């Protein structure tokens, strides 16, 4: 099994090979289900000119938002960036390129990219700014636009549990974009809460098969919550 053992012991090893101007596909929804330690390592490495494909860009001082501080991100492909003042500043001043992409289209771009499908048609965005410059085709009397899929040199993923050969289990809504991101990286790095022995995960319960995964690291997660909302008594 040693050829399949994908566990690495340091963040340096986990992100080795990441250089300037690469594209990174990231899982996460807001601060939920983000590979915290991998993002910190990217910040530490200081690589610049990155294109990051991720639903959001963290907050001002946490998650992918940390990479804005030293202007490491050249372009963001995201659906929603409303929680981040520095993001807005860099975008409005022209320092940061942003490709606002509808959330479902973004998920499908990753899914299709990982599945070897270069593009797909969707009704989402027809007649809006999103459709500009894109091929439009009619099917059954309705217009659709052609969206190209995405892949990256790296994908960074957060899972709950992995076995040593990279079979992944996600937990609750921390799943979000992570399964698609896992398929869309040439090198897919997964940060997990727990690494278990091969055979400990029931094959029926595997969310992402290990074939998509290249490196696994056990992380320590802060798991910050953006909006704690409680039941009224």
Partner 1 sequence: MSLNRDQIAMRVAQELEDGYYVNLGIGIPTLVANYVPNDIEVMLQSENGLLGIGPYPTEDQVDADMINAGKETVTAAKGASIFSSAESFAMIRGGHVDLTVLGAFEVDQNGNIASYMIPGKLVKGMGGAMDLVAGADNIIVTLTHADKYGNSKLLESCTLPLTGVACVKRIVSDLAVIEIKDGAFHLIERAPGVSVEEIQQKTAGKLIVPDDVPEMSL
- Name the token pair of 40: 């910190």
212 makes contact with partner 1 (CB under 8 A)? no
* 138 contacts partner 1 (rule: CB under 8 A): no
CB of 60 to partner 1, least distance (A): 14
The least CB distance from residue 137 to partner 1, in Å, is 15
| Residue found by looking up tokens 């636009």 in the block | 145
Interface with partner 1 includes 188 (CB under 8 A)?
A: no
Q: Are 76 and 100 in contact (CB under 8 A)?
A: no
Residues 8, 16, 48, 80: which binds partner 1 (CB under 8 A)?
A: 80
Site for partner 1 in 140-179 (CB under 8 A): 160, 171-179
Under rule CB under 8 A, residue 95 binds partner 1 = no
Site size with partner 1, rule: CB under 8 A: 57
Say whether residue 32 binds partner 1 (CB under 8 A): yes
Query: Does residue 103 interact with partner 1 by CB under 8 A?
Result: yes
**What's the Cα-to-Cα distance from 154 to each of 14, 96, 225, rounded to whole Å?**
11, 20, 26
Smallest gap from residue 204 Cβ to partner 1 (A): 16
Residue that the structure tokens 């992409």 belong to: 101
Q: Which residue in the set 40, 102, 146, 198 belongs to the binding site for partner 1 (CB under 8 A)?
A: 102
Give the C-alpha separation, 233 to 99, whole Å.
Answer: 43
Q: How far apart are CA 110 and CA 151, in angstroms?
A: 7
DSSP assignment, residue 200? -
Handedness of CA 220, 165, 10, 73 (dihedral sign): negative
Please, are residues 217 and 187 in contact by the beta-carbon 8 Å criterion? no
Closest to 184 (Cα-Cα) out of 127, 120, 133, 112 = 112
Location of structure tokens 């052609």? 146
- The answer to whether 11 contacts partner 1 (rule: CB under 8 A) is no
Contact status: 191 vs partner 1 (CB under 8 A): no
Stretch that binds partner 1, among 10-18, 30-38, 43-51, 67-75 (CB under 8 A): 30-38
Task: Count Cβ atoms below 10 Å from residue 1 Cβ, excluding itself.
Answer: 7
* First-to-last C-alpha distance (Å) of the chain: 53
What's the rounded Cα separation, in Å, for the pair 156 and 192? 11
Q: Would you say 1 or 228 has its CB closer to partner 1?
A: 228
Q: Between residues 44 and 171, which has the closer beta carbon with respect to partner 1?
A: 171
Q: Which of 18, 23, 25, 29 binds partner 1 (CB under 8 A)?
A: 29
190 makes contact with partner 1 (CB under 8 A): no
Residues at the site binding partner 1, with contacts judged by CB under 8 A: 29-33, 55, 78-83, 87-88, 91-92, 98, 100, 102-108, 110-111, 122-130, 160, 171-180, 223-232
């Amino acid at each position: 099994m040693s050829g399949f053992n994908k566990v690495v012991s340091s963040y340096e090893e986990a992100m080795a090979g990441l250089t300037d101007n690469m594209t990174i596909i990231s899982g996460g929804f807001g601060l939920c289900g983000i590979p915290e330690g991998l993002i910190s390592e990217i910040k530490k490495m200081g690589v610049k000119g990155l294109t990051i494909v991720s639903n959001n860009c963290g907050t001002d001082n946490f998650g992918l938002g940390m990479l804005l501080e030293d202007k490491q991100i050249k372009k963001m492909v995201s659906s929603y960036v409303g929680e981040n003042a520095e993001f807005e500043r860099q975008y409005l001043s022209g320092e940061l390129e942003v490709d606002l992409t509808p959330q479902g289209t973004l998920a499908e771009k990753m899914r299709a990219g990982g599945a070897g499908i270069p593009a797909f048609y969707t009704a989402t965005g027809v007649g809006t700014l999103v459709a500009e410059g894109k091929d439009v085709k009619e099917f059954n009397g309705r217009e659709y636009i052609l969206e190209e899929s995405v892949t990256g040199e790296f994908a960074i993923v957060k899972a709950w549990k992995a076995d040593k050969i990279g079979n992944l289990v996600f937990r609750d809504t921390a799943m979000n974009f992570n399964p698609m991101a896992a398929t869309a990286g040439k090198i897919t790095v997964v940060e997990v809460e727990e690494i278990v022995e091969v055979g400990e995960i029931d094959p029926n319960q595997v969310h992402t098969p290990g074939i998509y995964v290249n490196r696994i690291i056990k992380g320590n997660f802060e798991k910050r919550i953006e909006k704690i909302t409680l039941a009224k008594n």
